[in-house]
Amino acid sequence: MNSFLNILVRRLVTMAFSNRRSKMLTFIMAVILAALGTFNILNKPAATARPVQHEAPGENYALTGRVVRVADGDTFTLLVDGRQQRIRMASIDAPETTKDSQQPGQPMAQASKKSLADMIAGQTLSLICFEHDQFGRNVCDVPLGDGSTANQKQVAAGMAWANMEGRGKYMRDAKIPELEQHARQAKLGLWQEPNPIRPWVWRYQCWKKGQC
């Protein structure tokens, strides 16, 4: 269409100049030139705006599988669709188990591990997960059939602390600090000791600084 109009315009220009008295041809030429300009404008590709990139907010996700291993009082392995997923329980921190001679365990570590194993080992569970930690583990709440979570029960039994490391930046469940207070007052589990060392302090002072 554009090429046809260009040819037509050239012919009309020639005719107009050969017959200066032909006002009608001049008028027609002006109309066609205007039409040609409009056609070009309408067919000019529109500038494409670059989409604004927004970082999607973090969303919870679910994992359903069978518990195949309990590592300690707040960590276990879930078999999901044939693949093993490491789970770090959210909002709590259990006594550290012995890793090697340079990283000895804490008192109550084995009792805490047994408490969690008795609760969830071999069961098929649906977890509510929030993120992956620096070790690639899924950070999750572990709902149980009675409406509570294994996270809550570990703390309520004195088998783990409410994880208040970093002024509570890892706390996901507002009920857990209160459960710790009840366990402390009742001297349950690790609270039988007068001043049990919090795991995040143990990891720093004992494992990192060697001040066990």
**What CATH number is attached to the domain comprising 81?**
2.40.50.90
CA atoms within 13 A on the CB side of 158: 16
Q: Are residues 36 and 95 in the same domain?
A: no
Q: ∠134-114-164 over CA atoms, to 5°? A: 40
pLDDT at residue 161 is higher than 90: yes
Kindly state the tokens that stand for 79. 């078999």
Question: 131 catalytic, yes or no?
Answer: no
CB 135 within 8 A of CB 83: no
Query: Does pLDDT of 41 surpass 90?
Result: no
Tell how strand 161-162 and strand 83-89 pair up.
unpaired
Task: Please tell me whether residues 83 and 21 are part of one structural domain.
Answer: no
Q: Assess whether 100 and 186 both reside in one domain.
A: yes
Is residue 51 a part of any domain in this protein? Answer: no
pLDDT of residue 209: 86
Nearest-angstrom CA–CA distance, 153 and 156? 5
Please check the confidence at residue 38 and state whether its pLDDT lies above 80.
no
Q: Are both 26 and 83 inside the same structural domain?
A: no
Confirm whether 80 is domain-assigned. yes
Taking only the tens place, the pLDDT of each residue in 95-104 is: 999 998 889 9
pLDDT for 52: 28
**Same domain, yes or no: 172 and 131:** yes
CA separation, residue 107 to residues 114, 148, 208, 209 (Å)? 13, 26, 18, 19
137 annotated active-site? yes
Assign 162 to helix, strand or coil: strand
For residue 48, tell me if it sits in a domain. no
* Predicted structure pTM score: 0.71
Kindly state whether residues 126 and 85 are assigned to the same domain: yes
Residue type, 12: L
| CA 114/CA 110 separation, integer angstroms | 6
Catalytic member of 11, 21, 96, 198: 96
Same domain, 94 and 32: no
How many structural domains does the chain have?
2
**pLDDT digit string, tens, across residues 76-101:** 999 999 999 999 999 999 999 999 88
Is the pLDDT at 50 greater than 50, yes or no? no
Per-residue pLDDT tens over the stretch 113-146: 999 999 999 999 999 999 999 999 999 999 999 9
Tell me if 56 is assigned to some domain.
Answer: no
| Cβ count near 135 (within 10 Å) | 8
Catalytic entry in 50, 131, 137, 172: 137
Give a yes or no: residue 6 inside a domain: yes
- The parent domain of residue 163 ranges over 61-208
Cβ-contact 85, 138 below 8 angstroms? yes
**Tokens (6 digits) for 161:** 């602390």
The answer to whether residue 55 sits within a structural domain is: no
Same domain, 36 and 118: no
Residue tagged active-site, from 88, 172, 180, 198: 88
> Do 98 and 173 reside in the same domain of the chain?
yes
Span 50-63, mean pLDDT? 58
How high is the pLDDT of residue 58?
67
Same domain, yes or no: 144 and 202 = yes
36 and 119, same domain (yes or no): no
100 shares a domain with 190: yes
Please say if 88 is a catalytic residue.
yes
Query: If you count them, how many residues does the chain have?
Result: 212
Calculate the average pLDDT of the chain: 82
Predicted confidence (pLDDT) at residue 48 exceeds the cutoff of 70: no
Is 24 within the bounds of a domain? Answer: yes
